[in-house]
Structure 1
Amino acid sequence: MNNRDYASVVLNELHHTLSKIDIQKANEFVELVDQAQEVFCAGAGRSGFQVKGFAMRLMHMGINSYVVGETCTPNIRENGLLVICSGSGETKSLVNHANKAKEVGAKIALITINPESTIAKLADVVVEISAPSPKSAKQGDIKSIQPMGSLFEQSEGIFMDISIMMLMEKRNLDSDTMFGRHANME
């Protein structure tokens, strides 16, 4: 296959996974983010990279957002929201973060392949992305030509970008307003 062939297959895979996301769960996710006083974002590996991008866009919107594990991240409190991206929903460090958030009364939103996972049982909302991953007990309903969990990781990133657009609409924000908060020390 050539570049265009691969692009076509990958875009079809993304369309399949994104169109299967439960609209009600997506709306609940956006509502939790909108109502939170602070949003804490956690993920491991490539899912961690995706959720860091989400934290950045929340900051651009003027929402207090933090990446769990960074040195300047404060403690989570009752009015906070922990957003976890985990294909398996079983990553030990992320399970620990979810338990701590639950202990203090914070809300938890999980983006995952496995809605029956340990973290899912603790979460207030679970957004399921139907994609394959070698680390998840539950596999999505699509076979991907991409390696490992790539389809999940791409899908979660796009889902969070779509959630940002929904929040922008809800808060009457535009890209120009958000760009005013873009880093000026690059």
Structure 2
Amino acid sequence: MKQLFAQMNIEVAAVLDRVNEAEFAAFSEGIKGAARIFVAGEGRSGLMGKAFAMRLMHAGFNAYVIGETITPSIEPGDVLVAISGSGTTEAVLLYANQAKKIGASVMLITTNRNSKIAGYSDLTLRIPAATKLRLEDEPPTIQPLGNQFDQSLHMLLDAVIIGISVEAGDGSYQEMARRHTNLQ
């Protein structure tokens, strides 16, 4: 068990070490400057996106998950965070296309800068991880399917929240805790 944990940690650390710092900073700035943030993803990547939207809400942002019944219409000034390891997920491609037509910004998180969704994106943040496709340029992994991408995605999005919170000052933790659900 400990060997598996160690190998998984090595893999994720190696992936995150190769994330472009300028892309990461631009993504964080795009989040901070958004009127509202809409998050779209499918499967496990979508679940990581939901976790990100929840933390954005805790941090005081107006954040929504595409597909939820309470998600409002996207408008100019809003940002769509499109998450697709391959960059070709059909539903996410549709959302990116629609968001661009409406005048919202699209920020893509993917492994593939040259993907279909990247064509609609104002910013692409590449996570150089393995996906279920196992393309030639993807790093080796002991993990199944897109686990390496999804784990790296989760860590990266948590780093965005932590970075934004540190900039907000000492009171941000208390504010996040105040916004946390109390109906549990």
Tell me which interval the TM-score lies in, with the shorter structure as reference length: over 0.9
Aligned to 2:7: 9
Q: Which runs of 4+ in 1 moved over 4 A?
A: 136-139
Q: What amino acid maps onto 1:102 in structure 2?
A: K
Equivalent of 2:177 in 173, 176, 179: 179
Conservation of the 8 A alpha-carbon contact between 1:85 and 1:156: no
Percent identity for Structure 1 against Structure 2:
36
Q: 1:137: how far off?
A: 5.6
Q: 1:163: how far off?
A: 0.3
Conservation of the 8 A alpha-carbon contact between 2:38 and 2:63: yes
Q: Matched residue of 2:131: which SS?
A: coil
TM-score in terms of structure 2 length: 0.96
Unpaired runs of 5+ residues, structure 1, are none
Q: 1:53: how far off?
A: 0.4
Equivalent of 2:85 in 84, 87, 90: 87
Conservation of the 8 A alpha-carbon contact between 2:39 and 2:65: yes
Q: Matched residue of 1:180: which SS?
A: helix
Conservation of the 8 A alpha-carbon contact between 1:83 and 1:108: yes
Note the 1:151-166 alignment, pairs <5 A.
151-166=148-163
TM-score in terms of structure 1 length: 0.95
Aligned length: 183
| 1:121-141 superposed Cα distances (whole Å, 9 cap, x missing partner) | 11111111111112476742x
Note the 1:35-184 alignment, pairs <5 A.
35-135=33-133, 139-140=137-138, 142-172=139-169, 173-184=171-182
Conservation of the 8 A alpha-carbon contact between 1:133 and 1:139: no
Q: Give the whole-Å Cα distance in 2 for the aligned partners of 1:59 and 1:134.
A: 30
Q: 1:185: how far off?
A: 1.1
